Amino acid sequence: MRKAEEINYKSPMYLQLKKVIYSKIQSGEYLPGTSIPSENELAKMYGINRLTVRNGIDQLVNEGLLMRVQGKGVYVLGANGKSNVETVGGFEEIVEASNVARSIKIIKQVVRKASDKFSWIFGIGSEDEIYYIKRIINVGGTPSSLEETYIPKYLIPQLDSIDLSVFSIDEIYKFYGIIRSKVNEIIDLTRLDANQGRMLKISANEEVMVMESTSFDDKSRVIDYRRKYSVSDLCKYSVCMKKD
C-alpha cells in the first residue's frame, strides 16, 4: 500500500496513523519488543506534523499496544493488550523497596554455536545456533546482579532485534506465546573472577549468590539456561510452592 493511500484527509490524521501502526503490529512488521520509528521519522514518512504523530501514538499507548521508554523511544507490546513486564516464576530476585529504580545494561548479546554442552541441554545439534546474553541488573544505580542467559535461536529467531534492556526474557516469552511452565533451580555461594567482580563493583574474593536455572515450556522443551550472580546485600529471594 502506498503511503498516500494510508494517510488521507477523510478522517482525523492521528486516527489514520493509529490505524496504520496498529495494522503493522498485527501484520508482524512491527514486532513485539521492538521499537517503532521515531515521531520525527513518522512525521516525515507520512507528511504530517509531529503533534499529530504523538496523538496517534498516545492512543495506542493508552490501549496498551505501545509503551514509551524514557530516553529510548516507543516499543511494541503486541496486539493482545498490556503485559506485566515483571511476571516471573520460581526463585526470582526482587528489589527490597518497590520504589527503588531498576535498570538493565546489556554487556553482550550474540549468536553462537550450541557446542556439546548446550546441545545436550536444549536437545539440538552442536552446530545449531543459540543466543548468549550477558546483562548487569542495577538497583538504585548500583550493580546488584550479573545475569547470563542462553536461549536456542529457533525459539525466537527475531530476538536479536529486541532491546533486552527494556524487556525481561519472561515478557518476551509472553509476546511470542511461549509459556514458561517449570523451572529447575540451584542456589549456591561462589566467588567471582576479577572481571566479574569489576562488573559488580566488588572485590574478586567476595562471595556472591549464584543461581543456575533451567526453564521448560508447556511442551516440555528446554527454553533457556540462566546463571545469575547476585550481591547478597542488595537482593533477596522468595519461593512460592504450589501443589497440583
Q: Where does the pLDDT of residue 243 fall: very low under 50, low under 70, confident under 90, or very high at 90 and above?
A: very low
Q: Where does the pLDDT of residue 4 fall: very low under 50, low under 70, confident under 90, or very high at 90 and above?
A: very low
How much is the pTM?
0.75
- What is the pLDDT at residue 212? 94
- What is the pLDDT at residue 108? 93
Question: Tell me: the pLDDT tens digits for 67-93?
Answer: 998 888 999 987 654 444 333 444 444
Instruction: Please state, in angstroms and as integers, the Cα–Cα distance from residue 236 to each residue in 34, 209, 232, 239, following that order.
Output: 31, 10, 7, 10
Task: Among 121-125, 156-160, 167-171, name the one with the lowest average pLDDT.
Answer: 167-171
- What is the pLDDT at residue 97? 38
Q: Where does the pLDDT of residue 236 fall: very low under 50, low under 70, confident under 90, or very high at 90 and above?
A: low
Instruction: Give percent of the chain with pLDDT exceeding 70.
Output: 81
Total number of residues shown for the chain: 244
The distance of Cα 161 from the centroid of its chain, to the nearest Å, equals 11
With a CB cutoff of 8 Å and minimum separation 6, the contacts of 10 are none
